[in-house]
Structure 1
Amino acid sequence: MSAFISEFDLRARDDADGPTIAIKDSIDVAGYPTTAASRALSDAPAAIEHADVVQRLLDAGWRIKGKANMHELAFGMTGINDFTGTPLNPQDATRIPGGSSSGSASAVGLGLVDAALGTDTGGSVRGPAACCGVIGLKPTFGRVSRRGVAPVETTLDCVGPFAREMRILIDAMSAIDPSFDARIARRDAATVRVGIVSVVADEDIVKAVGQAVHRAGLASGDVELASMADAFAAGLAVINAETWHAFGHLVETGKIGADLDARLRMASNTTTADLEAAENVRRIFTAAVNRSLEDVDVLALPTLPAFPITLEAARAGTSVIAMSSLIRPFNLSGHPALSLPLPVLGSSLKAGLQIVGRKGADEQVCAVAAHVAAAFAQ
């Protein structure tokens, strides 16, 4: 099935019977090629050793069930892949699964695995999580090892887990990050203060965010982050430059998908001046988020501004770049951010509630998410 590029059962011990997990195909698993779901890398040699996060999962008793499919070269928001197949959106098969960690979100949402690892450079964990109705965490930048993860050089990308339950997501984080304190992540979060960020998004989804915070009994107030739009644009400039640096040479192979070929060529036009301006915005926006988190413990806002579009609309050329307008800024700033399935009144689909915390406070983000999830379950 298209949620996986390859399926297998890898265990650290022959008698291991631990939870199951899928690994995005931009993360090395020894003995298997890391193709990033691209025809241009389909003849890549097998990885010689596991990425750090993979080895840590095995050491913790997790069973790796396969390499998860993805948007080609992790450079796209739809999850559509005409080479390896497009993963199914568990919420609605007619809609895009989101990218780039599409197979990871799909596999978790379909119940094929207990958890999955993805990577998030411009929303590529949180976006698919919101599309597919599962939980996805982007840790604080630099907190989780990226050794054995493509691209090698990045100022944005983070390895993060997907799960259907916060309990499992916390277990996965405990495995891949030796510094992660599960006791803090499981603490009662009833007294945290929430800043609800004013954003441009569908009215029903905006209302659902406030209703979720209220239902969880959390103290809240409104927060303005005036530089969100600038941070979104700056994040695009940085990801364009860094993706071109990592994969631009593959354009010459003629094996890149047509949509990706066009976007890589456009990314090549990013100038030094563009990057200098983006770095200035990074400093301004990071400081703004830090200031907002002096008065509250976490920020809350929608993960995506709208429900995911249909596969038909995406293939017809409907732009999806705005999908990342509320998630990409926190890649630029490096703050931890989690997407939790969010019920929306009058809709059979769940949206995403994004919870953003202070740098290094990934455990508190998880604790708040677990508290809100428990309120939904009542």
Structure 2
Amino acid sequence: MLIDDDPVRAFIDYPDVPVANAADGPLAGTTFAVKDIFDVAGYPTGCGNPLKRAEAKPATEHAPAVAALLNAGSRFVGKVHTAELAFSLDGVNSHFGTPLNPAAPDRVPGGSSSGSASAVAAGLVDIALGSDTGGSVRGPASFCGIVGLRPTHERVSLANVMPLAESLDTGGWFTRDLDLYERVAAVMLGEDVAGPPLTRMIVAEDAFANLAGDPEATALTPALDRLKAAFPDWQSVILAPDGLASWQQAFRTIQGYEAWKAHGPWIEARNPPLMEGVRGRFEIARQVTDRQYRTAEAQRESARDRVLSVLGDDGFIVVPTFPTVAPRLTASVAELEKFRNYALMVMCIAGLARLPQISLPVATVHGAPLGLSLIGPPHRDRALISLGRIAMGEDRDGP
């Protein structure tokens, strides 16, 4: 790492290789870290697994997302830990250690972009790259009290990035505030597609019903009230008529099938050391049949059609990012897996629909952060980010 100290154990102690960045640009004066599934020229890509790290040779070129930040003037200061093979929502890594959650040190940082969120929340870097398949940017953002976006699918290039589930994987980033988030968005996303202002607010009633209890609902109420005041014609809908549980199952089927396709041959050939929870997920993934995958794909298209019909071209959907705050570090593997399944009930919505979702640090409950999320139409990511100011109480001019 190219910084002096790492009190939250976010960075990987790779040999320091200087990485050139532009002398000026829209992100000049900022620093960034990179989740260890993105290639950085001169560095190995270890993917959170000891055998992967041992087998990895230094990359010869940057992933496009890394190059974009460097070309915009941001300075690379190191690669950060990821949950094993990016297949986790909690961020625990027993191989290399779990990065600290600076906002709630007795709780997990979230995964799989654990080191990225930890480094940003601790103020060690201004920006960190992460990836989001089932919630690996949105979740750590909620857990650590920072900003994180799952972009529209394929809007951020994932060339030279380890895949998990190809049709669900997205590339994202973290910052501590919306001002910088918007500056990074201009670099990473380019211009939004044309469309009307996002002024039609929809509250996903079934997503809020998934909250763990009254404390969580009460904590999110001020941010929700700010949005309702700004958009007085808001409406409430049941987003999944057949139940969010059915959407979650379709998501898990697709993710499992594609994760085994990406990593199964290597696992069978190399028998790598895998953490208990990760090994269990791959064992389930191994058993998903072609027929089950095709059925889940049909369910995905139905879910996408439903969400797009609710959104139109001028709407945005409000959901809690997670049902509650981060689990404690003392949680068992079984408890973490239960939490993951519970959380995916809401996290799967944007993933199935291939839509942008931003998690905003708006609340604290049980002594830990809890995020509120906005989901928008495809390729309207930057318009969605700007709405975050209202939820966070930073808007001065109204929608």
Note if 1:232 corresponds to 2:248: yes
- TM-score normalised by L of structure 2: 0.86
Deviation at 1:153, TM superposition (A): 6.7
Give, as a single letter, the amino acid of the residue that structure 2 aligns with 1:331.
G
Give, as a single letter, the amino acid of the residue that structure 2 aligns with 1:221.
Q
Q: Please give the alpha-carbon distance, in whole angstroms, between the structure 2 residues aligned to 1:153 and 1:312.
A: 29
Note if 1:323 corresponds to 2:359: no
SS at 1:311's partner residue? Answer: coil
SS at 2:12's partner residue? Answer: strand
| 1:303 paired residue number | 321
Deviates more, 1:205-214 or 1:75-84: 205-214
| 2:53 paired residue number | 42
Render the CA deviation track for 1:57-96: whole Å, top value 9, x for unaligned.
Answer: 1111011111121110000111010112101111211111
Distance 1:258 1:289, change over 3 A: same
Distance 1:125 1:51, change over 3 A: same
| Contact kept in structure 2, 1:21 and 1:64, CA below 8 Å | yes
Distance 1:337 1:208, change over 3 A: same
Distance 1:258 1:208, change over 3 A: closer
| 1:155 paired residue number | 167
| Contact kept in structure 1, 2:37 and 2:162, CA below 8 Å | yes
SS at 1:222's partner residue? Answer: strand
Distance 1:251 1:152, change over 3 A: closer
Note if 1:53 corresponds to 2:65: yes
| Contact kept in structure 1, 2:230 and 2:390, CA below 8 Å | no
Deviation at 1:228, TM superposition (A): 2.6
Q: 1:126-137 to 2 correspondence within 5 Å?
A: 126-137=138-149
Note if 1:22 corresponds to 2:33: yes
Where do 5+ consecutive residues of structure 1 fail to align?
A: none
SS at 1:325's partner residue? Answer: helix
Note if 1:264 corresponds to 2:282: yes
Deviates more, 1:270-279 or 1:245-254: 245-254
Deviation at 1:129, TM superposition (A): 0.8
Deviates more, 1:200-209 or 1:265-274: 200-209
Q: Please give the alpha-carbon distance, in whole angstroms, between the structure 2 residues aligned to 1:20 and 1:375.
A: 24
| Contact kept in structure 2, 1:342 and 1:352, CA below 8 Å | yes
| 2:271 paired residue number | 254
CA RMSD across the alignment: 2.5
Distance 1:221 1:209, change over 3 A: farther
Render the CA deviation track for 1:112-133: whole Å, top value 9, x for unaligned.
Answer: 1101111001111101111111
Distance 1:54 1:297, change over 3 A: same
Give, as a single letter, the amino acid of the residue that structure 1 aligns with 2:59.
A
Note if 1:371 corresponds to 2:380: no
Where do 5+ consecutive residues of structure 2 fail to align?
A: 1-5
Note if 1:100 corresponds to 2:112: yes
Give, as a single letter, the amino acid of the residue that structure 1 aligns with 2:108.
I
| 1:360 paired residue number | 379
Give, as a single letter, the amino acid of the residue that structure 1 aligns with 2:377.
R
Alignment partner of 1:114 out of 109, 113, 126? 126
| 1:342 paired residue number | 362
Matched-pair identity in %: 34
SS at 2:323's partner residue? Answer: coil
Q: Please give the alpha-carbon distance, in whole angstroms, between the structure 2 residues aligned to 1:328 and 1:132.
A: 20
| Contact kept in structure 2, 1:228 and 1:285, CA below 8 Å | no
Deviation at 1:233, TM superposition (A): 1.1
Give, as a single letter, the amino acid of the residue that structure 2 aligns with 1:261.
R
Q: 1:270-309 to 2 correspondence within 5 Å?
A: 270-294=288-312, 297-309=315-327
SS at 1:26's partner residue? Answer: coil
Render the CA deviation track for 1:163-216: whole Å, top value 9, x for unaligned.
Answer: 1101111122222233459xx9xx9x8x82311111211233234444313224
